[in-house]
Amino acid sequence: MSASENELRKRAESALEKQAKLGEDFDLSKFEEGARDIPLSSSLDELSDDVQETMIRCGVVPSEAGRVGSIVVLDNSVVASTQTGKGFEMMDTRDALKKYNWLKDYSWKAVDVDADKYTATAYLSDSPGYFIRAMAGHKMKMPIQTCLMVGHDRTAQTIHNIIIVEEGASLEIVTGCTTKSGVERAIHLGISEIYVKKGGSLTFTMIHNWAEQVGVRPRTGIIVEEDGSFVNNYVTLKKVRSVQTYPTARLVGRGAVGHFNTVAVAPPGSVLDLGSRVVLSAPDTKAEIISRSITTGGEVINRGRLVGEAPNIKAHLECRGLILGNKGVNVAIPELEARVPDVEMTHEASLGKIARDQVEYIMSRGLSEDEAVGMIVRGFLEVGIRNIPEGLKAEIDDTIAQSDLAPG
């Protein structure tokens, strides 16, 4: 073990009891380490029917139509990895760290190993995950898809992902996070480190579809270099016990751009503590955080923070929330911090219910009240996310139709 690895281990061990600053504190001793010995399949078609059906519910396509690569992690085992496109590579993060000695310069650099007990546990667990690298100058025309799935009750899934978009490359990733039928309680600890090099572009869409009593603790760090672009889309629509996530993007090169778009629905029993942070550290950088949330009885906390550290930056933060019904809590916490004088930073936030005059106006066009409310809700959610895949739009519509979002 090298000196740097020994130092990381010491830091992780010292943080094993360190509570996170936000969210419910989970006792990790009540969960068992996920299975590591599930065999690797050569194609998604070889996965069991129940796994394939679960994948569909979180936006992952078992047929791989319209995808150039797929990787599936079940519990703590990579169970499928396929690649049909060119210009990129993907594999289990553990295999990549063995193959490339230089990758240690990226591992645990965007996320602190001792941030809390969840990051510490993920490090000490020798976590699987996906390593994806888009080669310099290659423009991906179709997305890669990934799936992180918990397959057994009371499992602790620990994940470590590393994504690198090399200079001038473009990449889109759609990732679904979910649980198989029969899983009631579990915890997901997902570490993602993302690097976008000069002139690179990454669109990263994450869809959560967990069981009702699952705890979810993603920890994500993003570094964007000169003229790079990062777009993050996050969607959670179904009941889940607790999600606490606060990804941080650092725009370290001149002209870098960062966008965070969130669509969240909190049914009764859900607690969603969601946030996004962008640190604009270089001149001429731009950032935008857009959040749309609905509570139908659960609790939503929308955190957004923009930090301006360099001149000539532009940043905007927008949090909007709806309360449907007589129960539920929706909280907006927008924050702006300027550390130099020559910045342009704005924010707006609004919380409330659907305006009656909006409903009546649409009803005057011949729609029923239920149809009018459904149309308003769909429009509200669609505004909150850009570059959304067509299949995901259909999923949002289906969710509205099958849930309490559309009354009646």
pLDDT single digits (tens) 191-219: 999 999 999 999 999 999 999 999 999 99
Q: What is the pLDDT of residues 56-100, one digit of tens each?
A: 888 888 888 889 999 999 999 999 999 998 999 999 999 999 999
Question: Is residue 382 over pLDDT 80?
Answer: no
Q: What is the pLDDT of residues 146-162, one digit of tens each?
A: 999 999 999 999 999 99
Q: What is the pTM of this model?
A: 0.93
Phi and psi at 362, nearest 5°, equal -65, -40
**pLDDT for position 10:** 96
Cα 123 from Cα 150, distance rounded (Å): 19
Question: Is residue 389 over pLDDT 60?
Answer: no
Question: Is residue 408 over pLDDT 80?
Answer: no
Question: Is residue 27 over pLDDT 90?
Answer: yes
More confidently predicted of 143 and 373: 143
Structure confidence at residue 106 as a pLDDT band (50, 70, 90):
very high
% of the chain with per-residue pLDDT over 70: 93
**pLDDT for position 288:** 96
What's the mean per-residue pLDDT of the chain?
Answer: 91
Nearest to 149 by CA among 189, 176, 185: 176
Question: Is residue 171 over pLDDT 90?
Answer: yes
Contacts of 360 (CB under 8 A, 6+ apart): none
Q: Is the dihedral of CA 388, 400, 216, 177 positive or negative?
A: negative
Contact criterion met (CB below 8 Å) for 54 and 149? yes
Residue with structure tokens 């039928």? 181
Range in 103-107, 231-235, 321-325, 338-342 with the lowest mean pLDDT: 321-325
Helix axis angle, 369-383 to 390-402, nearest 10°: 140
**pLDDT for position 387:** 47
Q: What is the pLDDT of residues 29-57, one digit of tens each?
A: 999 998 888 888 888 989 999 999 999 88
